[in-house]
Amino acid sequence: MNPILANSARTGTYLLGWVPIAALLVLVAKSQGWPLLEALVLVLPLCLIGAFLFLSSWYLCRALPLPAENMSGRWTAWMAAAGILAAIWAAAAQGLAWGLGHIHLLSGLYDRTRASLATLLGLGAVLYLAVLTLHYLIDAMERNKAAEAREAEMRILAQDAELRALRAQLNPHFLFNSLNSISALTTLDPARARTMCILLSDFLRGSLRLGEKRLVTLAEEVGLLKSYLSIEQIRFGERLQVAWEIGPGTEGEEIPALLLQPLVENAIKHGIAGLPEGGIVRVASRREGNALELRVENPVDEDTPPAEGLGLGLRQVRSRLQMRFGDRMRFEAGVAEGVHRVLMVFPAKSEVQP
For residues 72 and 137, membership in a common domain is answered with yes
Provide the domain count of the chain: 2
pTM above 0.85, yes or no: no
- With respect to residue 178, please indicate whether it lies within any of the assigned structural domains: no
Determine the structural domain holding residue 252 and report its residue range: 189-351
Determine the Cα–Cα distance for residues 247 and 142; give it in Å rounded to an integer. Answer: 45
pLDDT at 189 (0 to 100): 80
Q: What are phi and psi of 337, to 5 degrees?
A: 55, 45
Q: Quick count: other Cβ atoms within 10 Å of Cβ 194?
A: 13
For residues 133 and 278, membership in a common domain is answered with no
For residues 210 and 100, membership in a common domain is answered with no
- With respect to residue 220, please indicate whether it lies within any of the assigned structural domains: yes
- With respect to residue 202, please indicate whether it lies within any of the assigned structural domains: yes
Q: What is the pLDDT of residues 145-187, one digit of tens each?
A: 888 888 777 776 666 666 555 555 555 656 776 777 788 778 7
286 three-class SS: strand
For residues 134 and 196, membership in a common domain is answered with no
Determine the Cα–Cα distance for residues 152 and 323; give it in Å rounded to an integer. Answer: 10
Domain stop point among 97, 115, 148: 148
Give the distance between the most distant pair of CA atoms in the chain. Answer: 115
For residues 133 and 198, membership in a common domain is answered with no
Would you mind telling me the total number of residues written for the chain in this entry?
A: 354
**Letter for the amino acid at 264?**
V
- With respect to residue 265, please indicate whether it lies within any of the assigned structural domains: yes
For residues 139 and 238, membership in a common domain is answered with no
For residues 194 and 328, membership in a common domain is answered with yes
Could you tell me the CA-to-CA distances from 182 to 17, 167, 193 in Å, in that order? 76, 22, 5
- With respect to residue 184, please indicate whether it lies within any of the assigned structural domains: no
For residues 257 and 346, membership in a common domain is answered with yes
For residues 322 and 212, membership in a common domain is answered with yes
For residues 141 and 243, membership in a common domain is answered with no
Domain stop point among 128, 148, 168: 148
Q: What is the pLDDT of residues 289-311, one digit of tens each?
A: 899 999 999 999 877 766 555 57
For residues 109 and 220, membership in a common domain is answered with no
For residues 118 and 193, membership in a common domain is answered with no
- With respect to residue 70, please indicate whether it lies within any of the assigned structural domains: yes
Q: What are phi and psi of 212, to 5 degrees?
A: -80, -10
CATH no. for residue 337? 3.30.565.10
pLDDT at 103 (0 to 100): 84
Pick the closest to residue 255 from 230, 218, 308 (CA basis).
218
- With respect to residue 327, please indicate whether it lies within any of the assigned structural domains: yes
Q: What is the pLDDT of residues 61-114, one digit of tens each?
A: 988 888 777 788 889 999 999 999 999 999 999 999 999 888 877 888 888 889
- With respect to residue 161, please indicate whether it lies within any of the assigned structural domains: no
Domain stop point among 132, 148, 164: 148
117 three-class SS: helix
Strand pairing category for 291-299 and 339-347: antiparallel
Averaged pLDDT score across all residues of the chain: 85
